[in-house]
Structure 1
Amino acid sequence: MAEEENPDTYLQETEVEEVVNQDENEMEQDFEENEELDPNAAGIHSVMDLSVQGFFEHKDSVFCVSMNPVKVNLCVSGGGDDLAYIWDITNGEQVCQLTGHNDSVITVGWSFDGNYVATGGMDGQIRVWKTDSGFEFITATETTDEVVWLTWHPKGLFLAAGCNDGSVWMLSMPSGKVVQVFYGHTAPVNAGKFIPPGVGKRLATVDDVGTLIVWNPGTGATECRMTGDDHRFDPGNAEISAGWTSFDSNEDGNVMFLGGSSGKVKVVNINNSSILASLETQHESVEAVSLCSTLPICACASVDGTVTLYESSSLKFRRSLPHGQAVIDCAFLPNSPYLLTACADCTIRKWDVRSGQLLGEYTGHQEPILCMSITADGKRVVSGSDDTELLVFNCEN
């Protein structure tokens, strides 16, 4: 696949790297301004069940969940009971049980057309079913180590998956054939995604020792490789060894925001391998990075209990959204300025990133939330928890 040159829509390439390290007084002021938003400020935690539906067949922690991009009622989930389920979020009924794994199912996902579903497990298997013909089993691929993540191409029937040994696998459907195995990482591949969003000309992957690789998915060639050998790109510091845990890219796919296990966020232009900024506001692992499609805002969710908002154009700190415990995920509702955050305090929250206002809290889980997925129409969010339950919340209000 030939790669087009995209202009840098964020910063001129001649600009130098900027380090954003928010002043402590500014952070204290920001938290004071948002203190009324902190659900734990009064030491009270609501356990009111505000869910509109639930699924209760899993017998162990629910590690992953994904909504069908076309059939908005269908959801797939995977858990520590070695099983995955397809179920209906409108009535909570089981549609299909997906079996065959010998260890925890820790990643699941649908193809862009909603006709295929894949599961990845700690047993090293990638298993795929065709869902438009009675849930026909297609293939089981034995990789060389635990499957950490999987992601479907946004326009084609190609599936990529990353493993704990650093290998990255790509399969083609409906044949189930392994068309590429990428070897370039020397540590667990923590995240991967086809970029740009909606186009998927390249495959970006990051690992546990601070390496970013951008691949040509057609040829397997490396188009960009950045490592911690360049101290400016190192996600850790002299005392702490760290890796990349999460990332997102702009619509052109030339600028990436990478979250690190030490709390750093690096902004890079992958067309010329330049570092545009180092955002150093958070202090613990950044578990999720999400770019807003309607505003120049980037949200970074951290184990330190904050979600930090940056201007994705100027790369300036905007504000911090306080949470009582670790934030494990964040995602924008489609075509909106509204951000959902999933927290270990058993609560999903809805925020208006323009003002930082807390618009809603969705409770019902009894143990930490481990995953969430938003419906394609943005009307519902589904969350999975250590309590073995999946709950559906109406996030329209």
Structure 2
Amino acid sequence: MANMEQNSLELHGDEEIIEVIDLNDTEDGPDNLADDLEDIDFEEAANADDKGWETEDEMELERDDSELTFSKHTGSVFCVSFDPATNNLAVTGGEDDKAYVWRVSDGEVVLECTGHKDSVTCAVFSHDSSLVASGDMSGLIKVWKVETKEEIWSFEVGDLEWLEWHPCAPVLLAGTDDGNVWMWKIPSGDCKTFQSCACQSTSGKVLPDGKRAVVGYEDGTVRFWDLKQGNSIHVIKGKDGHQGALTCLACNKDSSLVLTGSVDGCVKLINTATGKVVSMFSLDGSKAKDEEESNSVESVGFCNFLPLIAVAYLDGTLAIYDLSTQMLRHRCRHEAGLVHLQWEESSSLVSTCSLDGVLRQWDARSGKMVSEYRGHAAEILDFSINREATVAVTASGDNQAKVFFLQRPDR
């Protein structure tokens, strides 16, 4: 290495230039480098790096596809509903013991529902949007007249599990932790109760015909109630019922079929006229042996456009089943557990929200995702889509509700 003091050596054999560093050059040697390092403020350098570089999560949060963010809540937003008459208003309920009715177009508060003693987990409009009901976890239910912004009725029950309006009358139903189902005429407060064994009423729906209600219970039992007579029409339990608590229910448009979902990982299709289980759907093709081994069903729904149903599972699977063949048609994967699903009224698109804070739309015919909407910094706990399927409002654990304009492939 006779030429070590030469700073560089050029080799032109293959027209390459190779630079040979002089190892005797001590200009930037270890001693000098150590001296230089002593002068560096590492904390300041780290802060500078933080400003210049972002983690993947931080970069992801910069994407916000929403048109509007509603930020009045000071705690997690647990529930959201569109007003069915005009689709111009949304109501949200949250951990801050409040519900707000607000305009989707500009976020202006129309009505602040106060006076609750616990987190508001249920908030729904009546069929004509003239009334809104808000219910908190402790069981305090309030009804407000939207036009006059006045509270017109309130009642306190046991710990509240679900709350739903009748589809064509000012009648409100609620299910409680003690197993009772309550029904009131609003605002008179005329009351009827549907009593069962002391087992939590976990979910309930009024059938579209307005004459019957289906209720799911913690022990896996499903009951159909005659709302006028107050008696139980069908009881599905034991081997025909679920092996764990009911989590969700859905009815088809003509009230002939009901879907039930449970923590046992199974979905049952029930004929409402006979009370018979027509079919059972599960990802593994059989019942889970116990709840700890099961993949809980979180949401179910009928497609109005095709003979399909959708099932949202806690492991992040959206399953599309064919009602005609009773076979699994598509398995749509999510990175996080699913919370809720909703079909569009007149298409094959189904939307899902999940614990990763993303709203997604899927085409049930192909099983492909057609769009996704980001902007939340925490999980989405609920969402609602308007009748025209042009707008979605989401409720999230980041204390916000967001308005998204939905896109469709044929738009």
TM-score by length of 1: 0.83
Kindly state the Cα deviation for residue 377 of structure 1 after the two structures are TM-superposed. Answer: 2.2
Kindly state the Cα deviation for residue 249 of structure 1 after the two structures are TM-superposed. Answer: 2.0
SS in 1 for 2:325: coil
Native 8 Å contact 1:286 1:303 kept in 2: yes
Native 8 Å contact 1:185 1:207 kept in 2: no
CA–CA distance in structure 2, aligned partners of residues 165 and 304 of structure 1? 29
Give yes or no for the alignment of 1:375 onto 2:377: no
Native 8 Å contact 1:120 1:148 kept in 2: no
CA–CA distance in structure 1, aligned partners of residues 99 and 198 of structure 2? 30
What amino acid maps onto 2:263 in structure 1? S
Q: How do 1:255-266 and structure 2 match up within 5 A?
A: 255-266=257-268
Native 8 Å contact 1:169 1:178 kept in 2: no
Give yes or no for the alignment of 1:308 onto 2:322: no
Q: Which moved more, 1:246-255 or 1:287-296?
A: 246-255
Kindly state the Cα deviation for residue 252 of structure 1 after the two structures are TM-superposed. Answer: 2.7
CA–CA distance in structure 2, aligned partners of residues 381 and 224 of structure 1? 36
1:272 alignment counterpart: 274
Indicate how the Cα distance of structure 1 residues 210 and 88 shifts in structure 2: closer, same or farther if over 3 A, else same: same
Question: Per-residue displacement from partner, 1:100-137 (whole Å, max 9, x unpaired)?
Answer: 110010011111101010011112111101113x2121
Percent pairwise identity: 34
Match of 1:235 among 230, 238, 242: 242
1:217 alignment counterpart: 227
2:162 alignment counterpart: 149
Give yes or no for the alignment of 1:125 onto 2:135: no
Kindly state the Cα deviation for residue 43 of structure 1 after the two structures are TM-superposed. Answer: 10
Unaligned stretches of 5+ residues in structure 2? 1-55, 285-293
Give yes or no for the alignment of 1:113 onto 2:128: yes
Question: Per-residue displacement from partner, 1:169-208 (whole Å, max 9, x unpaired)?
Answer: 1111232x1421111143221111111x3x3220111011
Kindly state the Cα deviation for residue 235 of structure 1 after the two structures are TM-superposed. Answer: 2.4
TM-score by length of 2: 0.80
Native 8 Å contact 2:81 2:123 kept in 1: yes
CA–CA distance in structure 2, aligned partners of residues 108 and 327 of structure 1? 21
2:67 alignment counterpart: 52
Give yes or no for the alignment of 1:63 onto 2:78: yes
Question: Per-residue displacement from partner, 1:242-289 (whole Å, max 9, x unpaired)?
Answer: 111111122332322111112111122232222222212164111111
Native 8 Å contact 2:153 2:186 kept in 1: no
Native 8 Å contact 1:111 1:152 kept in 2: yes
CA–CA distance in structure 2, aligned partners of residues 114 and 235 of structure 1? 35
Native 8 Å contact 2:206 2:213 kept in 1: yes
Match of 1:359 among 362, 366, 370: 370
Native 8 Å contact 2:164 2:173 kept in 1: yes
SS in 1 for 2:203: strand
2:201 alignment counterpart: 189
1:226 alignment counterpart: 236
CA–CA distance in structure 1, aligned partners of residues 269 and 322 of structure 2? 12
Indicate how the Cα distance of structure 1 residues 43 and 55 shifts in structure 2: closer, same or farther if over 3 A, else same: closer
SS in 2 for 1:396: coil
Q: How do 1:191-210 and structure 2 match up within 5 A?
A: 191-195=203-207, 197=208, 199-210=209-220
CA–CA distance in structure 2, aligned partners of residues 120 and 99 of structure 1? 11
Q: Which moved more, 1:328-337 or 1:282-291?
A: 282-291
Question: Per-residue displacement from partner, 1:298-357 (whole Å, max 9, x unpaired)?
Answer: 001111110111112332211111100100000012211111100101000011111112
CA–CA distance in structure 2, aligned partners of residues 314 and 244 of structure 1? 25
1:333 alignment counterpart: 344
2:6 alignment counterpart: none
Native 8 Å contact 1:245 1:260 kept in 2: yes
CA–CA distance in structure 1, aligned partners of residues 337 and 349 of structure 2? 20
1:250 alignment counterpart: 252
1:299 alignment counterpart: 310
CA–CA distance in structure 1, aligned partners of residues 174 and 182 of structure 2? 5
Q: CA RMSD in A?
A: 1.7
Match of 1:138 among 137, 152, 170: 152
CA–CA distance in structure 2, aligned partners of residues 163 and 350 of structure 1? 33
CA–CA distance in structure 1, aligned partners of residues 325 and 73 of structure 2? 45
CA–CA distance in structure 2, aligned partners of residues 365 and 185 of structure 1? 41
Max Rg structure = 2
